[in-house]
Amino acid sequence: MITVGGFNTAIDRLVTLDVLQPGAVQRASTVQSYPGGKGVHVAQTIAALGEPVQLVGLVDAPHRNVVTRRMSERGVLFHGVEMGEGLRQCLALRERDGRMTEVLDPGPMLTTATRDQLLRTLERALDSSEALVLSGSLPRGFESDTYAKIVRHAASLGMACLVDASGETLRQVVDARPCVIKPNRDEAGQLVGYPVDTPAQAETLLRELYARGVVRPLVTLGEQGAFGFDGESVWHASLALERSMNAVGSGDCFLAGMAVAYQRGLAFDESLRLAVACGAANAMGEETGFVERSLVQSLLPKVRVQRIVAPARRA
Ligand SMILES: Nc1ncnc2c1ncn2[C@@H]1O[C@H](COP(=O)(O)OP(=O)(O)OP(=O)(O)O)[C@@H](O)[C@H]1O
Ligand SMILES: [Mg+2]
């Protein structure tokens, strides 16, 4: 069983319109609403790939049924911690040419009781799992070292921890020596203070993170694929798509692929292949943060995986 701690559950609204005109009154072509947030994306993608998964996250009374039902339809065991305040509402505006504008709600400010309950629920869930994924922003009210503390606790139980975070939370996670982190280009640049655009910069970043104790550091560069370091070699994996429909959530699906690969004991290059296929599969579809297993399977052979720095150049 893989446990996902993705506390900041959201209700996502996807509004499609012709061309966004700031300041104007506009009519939407379609409006859809569904449970979202990084925890939901990662957990439902892990389930789609066929691994048992449970998600610990926030819920409110009006949305408990809809979130639990959606998660159960998708094969995820959802442990929803209910709070008095409303769930985060996130708005995505998609224009005809595919451009997306997202407006993210800051989300609820949690009470001490809700925070404690989330942590206790996660702790209980760990009893029955082999790997832990922590994904997304921490709800307001949590200290920025919360993920780092959970990573240390999971390590003391002998459990691998894969983390997708940013800013100060990510900085502290690195010091806790997690198994995997996967910042994107911007998050990585913010973490180390230099741009991460080229293979050489990615290599410098990954070696630095490895030296700081991250067991398998990764960085994702959108359509340029991902780089990873296994302690010996730097690898690059990518899949060129003719057309991307919606790449929001590709990082979440990438991380889900990595978690599944870890659970199955895949070699590092094959893990990257699966993760990149998941990221690309997400970008090919309309929905944010979800993939079909059959599509991922069909993409696997098309992913180009290359060792870009031979073991002899080890630092
Ligand atoms: N347009 C695309 N074409 C092909 N692959 C893509 C595309 N966008 C993303 N991917 C794949 O998905 C991976 C993760 O994407 P990205 O770097 O955009 O993550 P992210 O910024 O963390 O996304 P999010 O936080 O929205 O989930 C990339 O490394 C790449 O392998
Ligand atoms: Mg991301």
Model confidence at 245, pLDDT cuts 50, 70, 90, reads confident
Ligand 1 pocket, residue 257 CB under 6 Å: no
Cα–Cα dist 118/210, whole Å = 30
Mean pLDDT of the chain: 96
Check: CB of residue 208 under 8 Å from CB of residue 192.
Answer: yes
312 pLDDT higher than 70: no
Distance 62 CA to ligand 1 centre (A): 32
235 pLDDT higher than 70: yes
Give the C-alpha distances (Å, rounded to integers) separating 183 from 68, 130, 175, 232: 29, 23, 15, 20
pLDDT value of residue 99 = 87
94 pLDDT higher than 70: yes
Give tens-digit pLDDT for 253-280.
999 999 999 999 999 999 999 999 999 9
3-state helix, strand, coil in the chain (%, to 5): 40, 25, 35
Cα–Cα dist 213/223, whole Å = 28
Residue 27 lies in a domain: no
Over 171-221, what HEC string results?
A: HHHHHCCCCEECCEHHHHHHHHCCCCCCHHHHHHHHHHHHHCCCCEEEEEC
Cα–Cα dist 247/4, whole Å = 21
- The CATH number of the domain holding residue 240 is 3.40.1190.20
Distance 143 CA to ligand 1 centre (A): 28
Residue 275 lies in a domain: yes
Distance 3 CA to ligand 2 centre (A): 18
Q: What is the mean pLDDT of residues 99-103?
A: 90
Model confidence at 90, pLDDT cuts 50, 70, 90, reads very high
Q: Which residue minimizes the CA distance to atom 5 of ligand 1?
A: 280
Residue with structure tokens 């509004």?
A: 15
313 pLDDT higher than 80: no
Residue 117 lies in a domain: yes
219 pLDDT higher than 60: yes
pLDDT value of residue 301 = 98
Q: Is residue 74 within a helix (H) or strand (E), and if so which, with residue range? A: none
Ligand 1 pocket, residue 214 CB under 6 Å: no
Give tens-digit pLDDT for 161-175.
999 999 999 999 999
Report which of residues 120 and 314 the model is more confident about: 120
Please give the span between the terminal C-alpha atoms of the chain, in angstroms, as a whole number.
36
Ligand 1 pocket, residue 223 CB under 6 Å: yes
309 pLDDT higher than 80: no
Residue 287 lies in a domain: yes
Residue 173 lies in a domain: yes
Residue 205 lies in a domain: yes
3-state secondary structure of 246: coil
Give tens-digit pLDDT for 132-187.
999 999 999 999 999 999 999 999 999 999 999 999 999 999 999 999 999 999 99
33 pLDDT higher than 70: yes
Please state the domain count of the chain.
1
314 pLDDT higher than 60: no
Distance 4 CA to ligand 1 centre (A): 20
pTM: 0.96
Report which of residues 313 and 189 the model is more confident about: 189
Q: What is the mean pLDDT of residues 297-315?
A: 83
pLDDT value of residue 100 = 86
pLDDT value of residue 98 = 82
* Edge-to-edge order in the sheet of strand 88-94: 30-36, 10-16, 88-94, 100-104
pLDDT value of residue 173 = 98
Atom of ligand 1 nearest to the CA of 279: 12
pLDDT value of residue 246 = 86
Ligand 1 pocket, residue 227 CB under 6 Å: no
Domain extent for 309 = 2-17+32-313
Q: What is the mean pLDDT of residues 291-301?
A: 98
Residue 23 lies in a domain: no
Model confidence at 40, pLDDT cuts 50, 70, 90, reads very high
Residue 25 lies in a domain: no
